[in-house]
Each structure stands twice: as structure tokens, then as C-alpha cells.
Amino acid sequence: MRGLLNVQFAVKDKVVSVIEANPRASRTVPFVSKATGVPLAKVAARVMLGSSLADLRREGLLVDPAPGGHVAVKEAVLPFQRFPDVDSVLGPEMRSTGEVMGVDRTFGLAFAKSQAGVGSALPTRGTAFLSLADRDKATGIVAARRLADLGINLVATAGTAAALESEGLAVETVVAKVGDTSGVDAVTLISSEKVDLVINTPRGRGPRADGAHIRRAAITHGVPCLTTVAAALAAAGGMAEAVDTEAQVRSLQEYHRDPQLRLEV
């Protein structure tokens, strides 16, 4: 076929499978067009009508990337605020209701902008609560160290606290399991508005899992909640850059260095 093809993949145990292939554009097409300055919908339409990519390069429709460099981050808008009883851990279901775009000169700043765009602005001070699955503790410690370097206080569940302290990180409070009356549990702590960021990577699924209660409390009280260590690392980097650099607004034309740029998407 000629033109745009939307392919959906599934990956399990390092095996990639194709779910479906549809001869149409996806929501990523306008995002990539804005990120690169190339009007992909127009390019695809011309290709479908018989033009070659070489023809489009000669016409100036396909251009080289602009010098200087910038990073564009696409973040999904998820409707969990409207459905607080739904677990925010993502699976194969299509849950997003839209997306936003964060653009800046570095990944950290672009990521921070994208989080602000979906209503989960990252804090630059306060307290972070961590509850990490065993498989995520090594990487989670790296993210926690970056947060601690920013002056963010750390609180954690017992297992995560032990892992953090074994690496020389100070844990302000060891949080009890949900429903445990021997200490303050995570839901109570989040509900008391003493937590500014939640990093919770799931250990199990289902309504009885502590993680589900923690993520639900974060959504209910408007606390940014990250469920992967990759997101935690990105957030820590974005928070660090946001502390040192004031966010700026630039037009797409400025990023692409072309005042005549027309993105028809």
C-alpha cells in the first residue's frame, strides 16, 4: 500500500506480535508533524497520488531536521480523575482520551511540561512516597537519590525503606501497610496532604492489593502518581531541570527555524 499505515503491536516476553494493521493515520501523526516540522498528512496524500519521496524533497516539503535540537514528549491524557475507582495501572486497554505535547531544549524540561499539561505538575519541593516492587528497587534507588539531592523528603513502605537506607538514603517515615493500626499507612498519609509525589510500581493486581489503594488515594487527592521506574527517572530529571531553569514558551516556528512553516495537520 501507499500512504499511512497504523500498526498496533503487543510485546510479551520479548516477543513482538502484530495485533492489527489499519490503512489510516493515528493520533501520533499530528504529534510527529509538530515535533519535526514535516506535514506528514500532506506528504502521505501526495505519496498516495503518485509522488515519490525524492520529488517531495526537491519541492521542499520534506526537509532536514532544524539545527539546534529540541525534544518533544507526548503524554496521554487519562480520565482517572473522573473515575477514581479505576486502577491507574495501565494495561492493553485503550484508556486515553487525548494527549498533550511538551516541547523544550532538553528531555527533562519537555517531560515536566508534558506532566503539567495533563494536570499532574511535578513538585520541586516537599515529600515523595515510594513503594517499589522488588524488580524495580535498583532503578528506583537511582530515582530516589536524585529526588533526595533536590531536597525532597523520602517516605516509603518497609521493604522499599530498607532498600533505600541500605544505599545510604535517609527515609523520613516508614509507612505501614494499608489498614495496619501500628503506624500511619500510605492512604492516610496521602489523604493528609503530606505527600507531593507518589511512586508506586505494582506488585499485584486486584482491589485488595495495597498498590491499588495507594494509587486511588493519589488520584482522589490530586497527587502526581508514577507507576513505572522509567517515569520516576524522567520525573526526577525534569524536576532537577525545572529548579534551575525557568520554563519558556516558544512557537513551533521558532523551534523549526522557519517563519513560513505551515503544519496542515
Q: What is the gyration radius of the CA atoms in the chain, in angstroms? A: 22
- 135 vs 13, 132, 160, 163, 249, CA distance in Å? 15, 8, 11, 12, 39
Contacts of 241 (CB under 8 A, 6+ apart): 106, 108, 109, 112
Rounded CA gap, 110 and 44, in Å? Answer: 28
pTM over 0.85? The answer is no
Task: Determine the pLDDT at residue 190.
Answer: 87
> For residue 240, what is its C-alpha cell?
532537577
Q: 3-class SS at 255?
A: helix
Amino acid at 199: I
Over the chain (265 residues), the average pLDDT of each successive run of 10 is 90 92 90 89 94 93 79 81 60 70 91 89 92 92 95 93 95 80 78 90 62 81 89 92 83 70 43
Instruction: For each of the domains in the chain, give its residue range(s) and CATH number, in order of start.
Output: 6-65 (no CATH), 71-244 (3.40.50.1380)
Task: Determine the pLDDT at residue 263.
Answer: 45
Amino acid at 29: V
In contact, 232 and 199? CB cutoff 8 Å = yes
The residue with cell 488515594 is 217
